[in-house]
Amino acid sequence: MSKDIEAVKAYLFYISKLDEKLKKSLLNDFLRRHVQDVNYCPFVSEEAVKLLKGKVTADELKNIKWPYKSPGDGVPEKIRPLFTNSAKGNEGSEKIFHFEHHIPASMGANELLEINLNSPDVDKKIKAILGKCRLCLITKEEDDKLTKQKWAKERPPNAYEQIGIKLISLDEACKML
């Protein structure tokens, strides 16, 4: 985690002289592409675990490299058609599962931009924000529920619970397979 904190601090310093709109845009992309998708252990909805049974083994689930460069990267070819954001344009795809950010990257970006890089507890604040920036594997129906709430840029802290999505850790999900 300390390398991640240092990377975020360096990026915040790097963009500090830019106008606010550009800072937000770059930091939003930074979080989406390089922090959330790469470094943080995903969570899986209980509903997704039920649908994963028989389609994927626990080892395959643990070894999925959550996509961040382009759709399909890191998802084994045999199960790629099961994922909405891994099978775009693939006619006949089942499109059962969806990778979703637990909080929108824009929320994390806004919180990071409020941090004073000279404060003594800067590392602690960044760590807390990065702890909220994680990726979840949910069903397409659950993603549709989130979309209907219009929470693309802002979400309440208990958004998933509010609409009946129960997230469990990847380790718990693997035990259930």
Domain ranges of the chain: 2-176
* Cα dihedral 83/129/25/88 (nearest 10): 0
CB neighbours of residue 158 within 10 Å: 8
Continuous segment of H or E residues that includes residue 97: strand 97-101
Task: Write the Ramachandran bin of 95: left for phi over 0, alpha for psi from -120 to 50, otherwise beta.
Answer: left
Tell me the per-residue pLDDT of 75-115, one tens digit each, with 9 for 90 and over.
667 777 777 765 454 555 567 888 888 888 889 999 999 99
Longest CA–CA span in the chain (Å) reads: 54
- The size of the chain, in residues, is 177
Q: Which two tokens stand for residue 1?
A: 């985690």
Please give the model's pTM, rounded to 2 decimal places.
Answer: 0.78
Residues with Cβ within 8 Å of 75's Cβ and at least 6 positions away in sequence, in order, are 64, 65, 67, 83, 86
Per-residue pLDDT of the chain (177 residues; tens, 9 = 90+): 688 889 889 999 999 999 999 999 999 888 877 665 555 567 899 999 999 898 888 988 887 765 544 555 566 677 777 777 654 545 555 678 888 888 888 899 999 999 999 999 999 999 998 888 878 889 999 999 998 999 888 899 899 999 999 999 989 999 999
| Residue 135, beta-bridge partner list | 101
The residue type of 102 is H
Q: Please check whether residue 31 is in contact with residue 133, taking contact to mean a CB–CB distance below 8 angstroms.
A: yes
CB neighbours of residue 143 within 10 Å: 19
Q: Which two tokens stand for residue 53?
A: 């049974």
